[in-house]
Structure 1
């Protein structure tokens, strides 16, 4: 998993599929995590043109292919498993190389596709997560940044 973390966080850009303006949803919390760590992130949500975090509004993109540079983007996924599989197929076709499947976003079929279809796929329980529900950027993300040797600073929202 260390190699997957390094690959994921070595990406110059990030995207959050399932981004939301609702602070109670994980799509909001994960987007906010990237923003708080001053990482270049694009919210991905085909249902709304914008999402807000605190008092700032961000334009969304509708699909992985709509990202400014999909081949340079690592994708965090916060969608139901049936949506996740279709999303991963689009992401692979767009050239995304690394994905992070948050807890609850995958089933066995999704996990198998992710692990075979991408250079790096972070998901599940194995190999060192400190979370009790599986690898989660909110819990394991800072360790991943360190593994990748990525300097970050706590941003302000």
Structure 2
């Protein structure tokens, strides 16, 4: 499945690394998905809400089913979220530029997870 197919097939996304700073990608990607009418849950260990929307401290605390997890965190933080994806049965993850390195990708290659290396903003707002 290509990244565009992912956007056309699934509607429940979680953005890991949401921030309240409009200049940061965690904010921009979260807002972009919302503008395009996806159901989006924001994950942040630092913030409780963004523009009135609740944020969750982990994927495990999101009450809705998540189909795609969008990573906007450094690779060193990504491992914990991958464990949560496995626990919740999330099989599709989208890694933004800067959120992965060769070790992280090698780890993902050992798991039953499909990953995409691309910027959501580039796909939705070219």
TM-score, length basis structure 2: 0.87
Q: Work out which of the two has the higher radius of gyration on C-alpha atoms and give 1 or 2.
A: 1
> Could you say which residue in structure 2 is the equivalent of 1:63?
58
Structure 1 Cα separation of the partners of residues 124 and 107 of structure 2: 22
Q: CA deviation at 1:87?
A: 1.4
* Structure 1: gaps spanning 5 or more residues: 124-134, 144-157
Q: State the superposition RMSD in angstroms.
A: 2.0
Instruction: Give the total of aligned pairs.
Output: 125
* Structure 2: gaps spanning 5 or more residues: none
From 118, 122, 125, the counterpart of 1:139? 122
CA 1:87–1:102 in structure 2 vs 1: closer, same or farther (change >3 Å)?
A: same
Q: CA deviation at 1:68?
A: 2.1
1:78 aligns with 2:66: no
Q: CA deviation at 1:73?
A: 2.1
Tell me the secondary structure at the aligned position of residue 117 of structure 1: coil
* Greater relative contact order, per chain length (Cα 8 Å cut-off, separation 6+): 1
> Could you say which residue in structure 2 is the equivalent of 1:49?
48
> Could you say which residue in structure 1 is the equivalent of 2:39?
40
